[in-house]
A and B are shown apart, each in its own frame.
Chain A
């Protein structure tokens, strides 16, 4: 117990230090459009359900952003995981896709912005699914295909790379011992390769979600966006509401860390064997 308390204390030292430096700098700068005080930002959180600069409450904006990221992420992952597994499993498939992936991977997702706009324009989930006009339409109209595309691009590459790596690096002895026990090719794939690579796959999903979430601000800077934490930040900046900018940044940071901890919990629960295997 003593130990746990100490660990928590240790992990809080640097954040606390940052807050102190922030507050001191803010008092010294005396200019809320450069650096507002902590109190001012805190106030935003106290009134989180207020309607900020006509953009709705903080929870609502986080919700919109989450749905955006999740739809892009899901699309990216649904392609990346099977592709990564197949590339790790089969040399031919790997050869076919690898060059293309290696060329596209270094391109930052946000560099796709102009093309994404050109390809998908203002199309949104609402218009793609041809929803009738109304409240539903307005809500789903928030989710532009171009944004989903950007976020999907961001999550795709880390996932594909780490899934492939995971499948390729399954120890040969494990595969061999399955073969001499009479495993079919199907057994090898589903009962050996997938479980052995599962920790890498989860790790890829984790990195992918972090990057997808990180693409948010860029994606929400696309025209046609009227909600979301990223949009809140850019719009607040235009109104010189730096306190709101910081509020938005904190939201992105905290939500990102929470999402990450979900994966950490999954890893610790199901893949405890991984780090301990000699």
Chain B
């Protein structure tokens, strides 16, 4: 079944100096239930804009976004998002940040904190529950933001370069962890990344975008079974192919 359907989507920004920026043009994309889709493309090609429109945070100029067959306009807890930039509430400690979505849905404090603890363990930061965001490194903050999105148990998860700030080692751990959660919890994930390797490692399907104006250049199905082996020749060939395609954009 189609989880998300994007139909002839177009986004034009009107900037301060009367200039029109065509950020996205004629985007058509369907994401199936439980599918893991990676969006790969150069900086400024509209990846964040696309996710924001799907989340309902930004209006489309033309075209529509459907979620479960219904037009999706307003943000809701079923479609979670991890942002590219720092997004933790600076006045809340890590646990309260992770539990924030559960707070909004009215869950009692002890219950939501115990759920938050689980996700804190998951991101390997058990000792940091009482720490405040400004006491964490950039990568740790991003892990908390991921835990916050996951703790809310959304149906669809939009992730905007979530692992960009992580070191190579933590990044690999988090990629594995994300796959585990995705398989276990039956989520649909749209994942933006700059990294070809990350896309090949994670995705069922890779959407390659090109810029000015942002459009979909190519779709590539990745059929290698998980957990994928980076030393597999097929893995290397796909990575190389994508790098060439990216260079052309």
Contacts and interface: CB of A to CB of B under 8 A. Distances in A.
Interface of A: 173-174, 176-184, 187, 191-192, 195-196, 198, 271, 273-274, 276-278
Contacts of A187: 104
A181 B101 contact: yes
A181 B100 contact: yes
A203 to B, nearest CB: 15
Contacts of B57: 176, 179-180
B75 A180 contact: yes
A220 B86 CA distance: 50
A191 B103 contact: yes
A120 B152 CA distance: 57
Contact of B90 (A176, A181, A277): A277
Interface residues of B, number: 30
Nearest to A188: B104
B84 to A, nearest CB: 9
B112 to A, nearest CB: 12
10 contacts: A173-B87, A174-B89, A176-B87, A180-B158, A181-B77, A181-B148, A184-B104, A195-B89, A274-B90, A277-B90
Contacts of B56: 179-180
Contacts, number: 74
A192 B86 contact: no
B86 A182 contact: no
Interface in B148-186: 148-149, 152, 158
Contacts of A182: 75-77, 101, 104-105, 152
B81 interface: yes
Nearest to B81: A180
A182 B103 CA distance: 10
Contacts of B201: none
B83 A176 contact: yes
A273 B96 CA distance: 15
Nearest to A177: B87
Contacts of B90: 196, 273-274, 277
B75 A273 contact: no
Nearest to B79: A180
Contacts of B149: 180-181
A278 B134 contact: yes
A255 to B, nearest CB: 31
Interface in B200-243: none
